[in-house]
Chains A and B, each alone.
Chain A
Amino acid sequence: MKLETEKLDGDVLKVSLSGRMDNAGVDAIAIPFAALAATDNRRVIIDLSDVDFLASIGVRAILQNARAHRMRRGAMVLLAPRPLIEEVLQAAGVPNVVPIVPDLDAARAALAA
């Protein structure tokens, strides 16, 4: 699995994940993904549109990361997951604590709130 970052206007960081977010996939991105929360990224959009598989370990990684951002008074949103990925996130109760948004405008609005 791959992780790419892109600075957007308004001090927002977009993190694009792609591939299979299973045990091996999460392993592959563990360090750069954790590093995002350790640095000064106050507002983060996790773009899930190219993630084609998500296991509980991936859900765990997302939630831990979101928590780390919250601890540093930052915020995170999840952008455009595919329907089955969204079903996994829903089943795991993720939307209760991390907003899931369909597009960049909604992402900015959720981060500003």
Chain B
Amino acid sequence: MIDRTLKVEASLASLRTVGRWVADAARDEGVPYEIAFGLDLAVHEAVENVVSHGCGDGAAHRIQLTIRIDDQRVEIVIEDDGLAFDPLSVPSPAAPQSLEELIPGGQGVHLMRHFTDEIQYRHENGRNVLTLARGLPSAKQECANAVDPLAASPYFEGVSPEVFRRLRRAGRVVRMEPGEVVLRPGERNHALHFVLAGSLEVRVEERSGVVSRIGPGECFGEMSVVDGRPVSAWVVADGPCETLCVPEEKLWSELLSQPGFARGLLRLLSGRLRQILERQAAFELVRKELRLAREIQSSMLPLGDALFGDRSDVDCAAAMDPAAEVGGDFYDAFFLDERRLFFAVGDVSGKGIGAALFMARALTLVRSEALRRRPLHELLGRVNEALAAGNDQATFVALTCGILDVRSGSCRYANGGGGGPLVRCGGRWSRLPMPRGIVVGAIQGFCFQTSRMTLGPGDAIVLFSDGVTEASNPTGELFGLARLTSALENAGDVAALKRVAAIRAAVRAFTDGGRPADDLTLLVIGRPS
């Protein structure tokens, strides 16, 4: 409910001032746009009439305008002290029938009548008084049409219409095009934004990572308004939309004291908090499942650091430090019979659950083929065929495997794209030359080969995954084969478990506490001297 008055000089230059005044009053009271437009037009025509007909006597005249808006109607009274002139006495011109016969003009009063419900003119106390009125859609109708999405919002249930009118008055309506950014991370935000129409997305990135959607009756920007800290996410218009932008000072000074408003806002905030907690719970569940997957994965590998501690004819140790929650690396070592030790180190491309599942499959296949006593090239061939069939993810495993006769030291080995292990022969470490090979699971029909060498007493073989040689330090340098070799040389003539520890320590020192980028897997097999 408002009652405002404006006094202007009777001149055409005042028309814009009058127009803005009418539009402001209409907007402040939430008058529908089409009604506001019609009133703006009718007043424009009326004032123009006063200026050109009533005030043509050369004297300075003034016009006084009064606007009253209540729930039912808008009434605008225009008074002037010019010559008596009744605009309603001007007959409406006939609608133009042809351009040739057209006498343009005289449409003003006709348009005034068209866009108002009532026009009255009277001349009293030497003044022209023109009253324009237009009815407003009733409050009930408004509710039925859900004109105010804020009033319809469950957060503000029971809040009186007067509070919404104040809210409307405190803010300004902002229209946005699809894709328009309203808030960006790091910026300061000093307003609470209520969505009136359309919807907006809260995103992690400007164009992706949608976290949530904000629709009519909801608001955003409340966190940065409450704690005064920079905005934390992108808020982007999802389509054409309209918001009511309420400056923070109005929120604190006027709105929070309104009955029910603070409670509505708190409901909205706790609703959002609840949503986040639910998401957090779901996230924890996924983490728990990942931990479980990690445990299952570890349980598939031979247990412990030192392997076959009960045997004196072999010295064997292993380690696997996964980078992601679940890794794609594996190692394996088991006796095929009394003297033949099968060993393998694999590195599945990719990380996470997908890599872990592929790893489980690869490991199972390698084991079952190895237990069937197949020659190594045939073993790799079969595992390759099995993994490559229907492998749409193009995941593969880089695999090195071998069989060591722990009594004779005779060792056969094959290359599944894993790169050559390091061997210690006669006190010197060198890279083992590898036979023809390729990563397993990538190309069907590939023919692998088997090579052989002899591991003398006191010699050892070190199998490692990319995570060792490709561990990087903070400046981006890679650990590399040379550092791996010197770590082994520096460790000297020690047991397999100590060699594993020396390599891990060297890698850890090199990466300087940085998070490993890839799984780190080691398998050391030595022949006691």
Contact = CB atoms under 8 A, between A and B. Distances in A.
Contacts of A92: 95, 107, 110-111
A94 B45 CA distance: 18
Given A91-B114, A93-B95, A96-B95, A60 B107 contact: yes
B299 interface: no
Contact of A70 (B12, B34, B99, B107): B99
Nearest to A85: B37
A24 B13 CA distance: 8
Contact of A66 (B40, B99, B107): B99
Given A84-B34, A92-B110, A55 B45 contact: yes
15 contacts: A22-B19, A22-B44, A24-B15, A53-B41, A55-B44, A56-B45, A56-B107, A67-B100, A67-B104, A91-B107, A91-B114, A91-B115, A92-B110, A96-B98, A97-B96
A60 B34 CA distance: 22
A12 interface: no
B108 interface: yes
A22 B15 contact: yes
Contacts of A88: 41, 111
A53 B473 CA distance: 66
Contacts of A23: 12, 15, 44, 48
A57 interface: yes
A55 B104 CA distance: 13
A63 interface: yes
Contacts of B45: 55-56
Nearest to B36: A84
B12 A97 contact: no
A44 to B, nearest CB: 13
A94 B96 contact: yes
Specify the main secondary structure of chain B where it touches its partner: helix
A96 B97 contact: yes
B16 interface: yes
Contact of B107 (A20, A24, A59, A83): A59
Specify the main secondary structure of chain A where it touches its partner: helix
B59 interface: no
Contacts of B114: 87, 91
A56 B108 contact: yes
Interface in A74-103: 83-84, 87-88, 91-94, 96-98
B16 A22 contact: yes
Given A96-B95, A97-B96, A64 B44 contact: no
B439 to A, nearest CB: 59
B513 interface: no
B21 to A, nearest CB: 14
Contacts of A67: 99-100, 102, 104
Contact of A97 (B19, B102, B111): B102
Given A23-B44, A67-B104, A84 B15 contact: no
B304 interface: no
Nearest to A75: B99
B390 interface: no
B48 A63 contact: no
Contacts of A91: 107, 110-111, 114-115
Contacts of A87: 114
Contacts of B58: none
Nearest to A84: B37
A15 B40 CA distance: 26
Interface in B91-133: 95-100, 102, 104-105, 107-108, 110-111, 114-115
B104 A63 contact: yes
B95 to A, nearest CB: 3
Contacts of B99: 63, 66-67, 70, 97-98
B41 A55 contact: yes
Given A84-B37, A91-B114, A91-B115, 4 more contacts: A20-B19, A55-B44, A96-B95, A98-B99
A20 B19 CA distance: 10
Task: List 5 tightest A-B contacts by C-beta distance, closest first.
Answer: A93-B95, A56-B108, A56-B107, A91-B114, A70-B99
A60 B104 contact: yes
Interface in A1-55: 20, 22-24, 53-55
Interface in B30-58: 34, 37-38, 40-41, 44-45, 48
A91 B92 CA distance: 11
A93 B99 CA distance: 11
Contact of B96 (A54, A83, A96): A96
Contacts of B44: 22-23, 55
B387 to A, nearest CB: 59
Nearest to B19: A22
Contacts of B12: 23-24
A109 B209 CA distance: 47
A57 B47 CA distance: 13
